[in-house]
Structure 1
Amino acid sequence: MMKVITYSRVSTSGQDYNRQIEELRTFCEKMKWKIQKEFSEVISGALKTNERPVLTKSIHFVKVNDIQKVVVWDLSRLGRNTLEVLKTIQTFTDQKISLYIKNYNLETLDLDGKTNPLTSFMIQILLSVSSLEREQIKERMVSGYKRHLKNGGSVGRKKGYRKTDEEILNHYPDVIKYLKKNRPIREIMKLTDRSSGTIMKVKKIMSK
């Protein structure tokens, strides 16, 4: 039976990766692939691979456990940094481990363990489109922000409003998780995309 792992990711604590996990689990069962371990994390896909603890662990796991295939729900779950994603795929390929992308039914290696040229081509296109979409979203956000200010709009909280300690803690469960693990502030900033000021504020509230 084919030995595989699954990897799932969402960017923020407000998102849920359980649907990805369930779909991958059902799919692997249908394909009669044996899942050796399920990896999942809440972290930005724009970070480098070595800044993503769970992805790094999954790469090490497949190397030492004779894993034949890594299954992801979508290519963007592996990452949104084109160079880093290609490096990760190459790492798998060098170990004769195939990457299977479920929503596109793409696989990096064929049955003989050789690189599938069509999949390589499609991955390049998908990563390019994803990068272009991110840039367009950023441009629209900046344009909308400027238009809002030009029309007399304001930004930030209403004057006099202040969040309670409980509201702040409820808003930053990802920061709390890493603070409880005694991770350094700089590392938490990378893992959560939060500012040092926000992390210090949460830390201060937790110490009360």
Structure 2
Amino acid sequence: MKAVIYARVSSISDRQNTERQIEDLKAYACANCYKVEKVFSEKISGAKKNAEREVLLACLDYAKQNGIDIILVSELSRFGRAIWEVLETVKYCADNSINVFFQKEGLQILDEKGEVLPTMAIYISCLGFAAEMERKNIAFRLNSGRELAKQKGIKMGRKEGSIKSKEQKAEEYKQVIKELKRGTSIRKTAKLCDVSVSTVQRVKAEFNL
């Protein structure tokens, strides 16, 4: 069976990457005799709507156009933050006879005959709702904590001296700067230097390259 992997992290900084997700899903594919045709990986905020997730859209289109049997995803939240977006994406896959496997939840949307599992929409809705409520609760607690800290006169934000100077950034991203000066595209530079596209864009703007 033909499979593709879709991996995403929310942070656009260099502190997170999709390597663990991809390796875990490759191991699952190998154990289940799936041939991974392509890997789709992106760094984009979970707050972004699915319509803004170019890599996710490319993954869905590739799966449809190339007769992919299953999309492997690390967890349900990778398919969207809002319940309705997750369900919309799942429905697209089901309508095109593309199975989806969510590793964390251990769920697939189609049965062995390629038919939609009748309870799947309800199950996904419940899981998605619980995750969404938890995110809202975390946001509420964080905001509440910030307000209390401000009332106590605690200074918020980065510590003094934690912001890097332009010289420090020039040293840290010297390879990125070198590639951009050569005329290398932003995406290719990101790949060659193993940094995010947003990092390359930020360096390009800051150093007027």
Counterpart for residue 36 of structure 1: 37
**Deviation string for 1:138-189 (max 9, x for gaps)?**
1011110011011111123456875312555769xxxxx9x935xxxxxxxx
How do residues 21-60 of structure 1 correspond to structure 2 at under 5 angstroms? 21-60=22-61
Query: What one-letter code is carried by the residue in structure 1 that aligns with 2:27?
Result: T
1:66–1:145 CA distance, 2 compared to 1 (3 A): same
Counterpart for residue 86 of structure 1: 87
**Deviation string for 1:98-132 (max 9, x for gaps)?**
11111222111112222112322221111101110
**Normalised by the size of structure 1, how large is the TM-score?**
0.79
1:161–1:85 CA distance, 2 compared to 1 (3 A): closer
Q: Which runs of 5+ in 2 are unaligned?
A: 174-179, 188-196
Instruction: Name the % identity.
Output: 34
How far has the Cα of 1:203 moved from its partner? 4.4
Query: What one-letter code is carried by the residue in structure 1 that aligns with 2:70?
Result: K
Retained in 2: the 8 A contact 1:45–1:81? no
> 1:74 and 1:10 mapped to 2: Cα distance?
11
Retained in 1: the 8 A contact 2:87–2:121? no
Count of aligned pairs between the two proteins: 186
Counterpart for residue 208 of structure 2: 207
Retained in 1: the 8 A contact 2:79–2:85? no
How far has the Cα of 1:204 moved from its partner? 4.0
1:4–1:157 CA distance, 2 compared to 1 (3 A): closer
1:160–1:17 CA distance, 2 compared to 1 (3 A): closer
> 1:77 and 1:167 mapped to 2: Cα distance?
34
1:122–1:147 CA distance, 2 compared to 1 (3 A): same
Retained in 1: the 8 A contact 2:109–2:116? yes
Counterpart for residue 187 of structure 1: none
Retained in 1: the 8 A contact 2:7–2:40? yes
Retained in 2: the 8 A contact 1:47–1:81? no
> 2:54 and 2:2 mapped to 1: Cα distance?
22
**Normalised by the size of structure 2, how large is the TM-score?**
0.79
> 1:89 and 1:161 mapped to 2: Cα distance?
43
Query: What one-letter code is carried by the residue in structure 2 that aligns with 1:53?
Result: E
Give the RMSD, CA atoms, in angstroms. 2.6
Query: What one-letter code is carried by the residue in structure 1 that aligns with 2:22?
Result: I
Counterpart for residue 192 of structure 2: none
How do residues 180-195 of structure 1 correspond to structure 2 at under 5 angstroms? 180=186
Counterpart for residue 135 of structure 2: 134
How far has the Cα of 1:84 moved from its partner? 1.6
How far has the Cα of 1:50 moved from its partner? 2.1
1:34–1:206 CA distance, 2 compared to 1 (3 A): same
> 1:68 and 1:38 mapped to 2: Cα distance?
14
> 1:100 and 1:160 mapped to 2: Cα distance?
45
> 1:122 and 1:54 mapped to 2: Cα distance?
26
How far has the Cα of 1:69 moved from its partner? 0.8
